[in-house]
Amino acid sequence: MMMSFCSNYPLHHSPSTNIPFFNNKTSSLNNNNRFKVLTKSQNAETTTQQQQQQQQQPYTSLLSFLCPFLKLFSGGDPSGQRNFTLELATSSMASLSRFAWGSNSKVESSMNKDMTSNLPITLQLFEFEACPFCRRVREALTELDLSVEVYPCPKGSVRHREVVRKSGGKEMFPFLIDQNSGISMYESGDIVKYLFEQYGEGRSPSQGLLESTIFTGWMPTLLRAGRGMTLWERSTPDPPPGKLELFSYENNPYARIVREALCELELPYILQNVGEGSCRMKLLVDTSGSKQVPYFIDHSTGFQSGDYKKILHYLYETYSAAIV
């Protein structure tokens, strides 16, 4: 773990970095806000970075190998005509491969007792959908019933990977920033443990969640043929003008397909986790009239829908770069 959350460890401020982040009061992106990344001493940081490089090298090499290989089976242009029967079948198998992880809310988060759409969100997650280690963090967020600002970092990212590199010193994922505590960190296992310590109200992660990546974590990546791994070549280089919001839970097969598209378009969004038992369910029902997910809202245009096919069509039509 690069950043310590132990209160007895001396922490130092590194230079602040510009980050686009959602301002829930104005429902727009604000690119002028700054936050501080807290790190250990320089020597400890260097040692930890070297350890992380050694630990992450097999994972990075495997993803680099898988990326072009899986694209051969991904069905080509993600904005084109899809076989949705096959899409849903593979996404459903991906959900089954992860058992119940990322399906249920097990903690009534103290951050989310009084649900409104304007609650400030202090957690920022830089990740990409196809990454098995990022998936483990998203599953933990579902269990903890936490909302989070998601900054997709697909391979070829033009915005968010640079932010991570400048903020944490490495282009490695997942990368979590908790503005509430001033902590930022890499390493999925450390992030999950931190989230449960900070927001789990004394609970521990579900049995096997931390170890599960070794055995089944790659299955959704393989079954979905690497969807949500690389930047779509026709995605607009500009961030969305307003807030994007997605009601979802990690292991939902329909929501997975929408999150993949958001990742391939590198569109930041607020993820409202609504797993079974979520205290955010009333907010979803009040917003959409249903408990079904995904439910997507583009606050800049007013578009909203609970139909994953319509959401896909809207995203690729609205956030594609003009062909010159």
- Amino acid letter for position 147: S
Q: What is the pLDDT of residues 198-231, one digit of tens each?
A: 999 888 887 777 777 777 888 898 889 889 999 9
* Model pLDDT, residue 112: 47
User: How far is residue 80's CA from residue 309's CA, in Å, rounded to a whole number?
Assistant: 12
Q: Over 80: is that where the pLDDT of 269 sits?
A: yes
- Alpha carbons 54 and 254: distance in angstroms, whole number: 36
The answer to whether 236 and 321 are in contact (CB under 8 A) is yes
pTM metric for this prediction: 0.80
| 110 closest CA partner among 193, 202, 24 | 202
Whole-number pLDDT of residue 268? 98
Domain boundaries, the chain: 12-318
Q: What is the arithmetic mean of pLDDT over 87-100?
A: 92
Rounded to whole angstroms, how far apart are CA atoms 187 and 134?
Answer: 9
At 122-134, the pLDDT tens digits run: 999 999 999 999 9
In this prediction, residue 118 carries a pLDDT of: 57
At 11-26, the pLDDT tens digits run 223 333 444 445 433 3
Widest CA span in the chain: 57
Within 10 A of 54 (CB to CB), how many other CB atoms are there?
9
Between 77 and 234, the more confident residue is: 234
Q: pLDDT (tens digit, 9 = 90+) per residue, 286-323?
A: 999 999 999 999 999 999 999 999 999 999 999 998 65
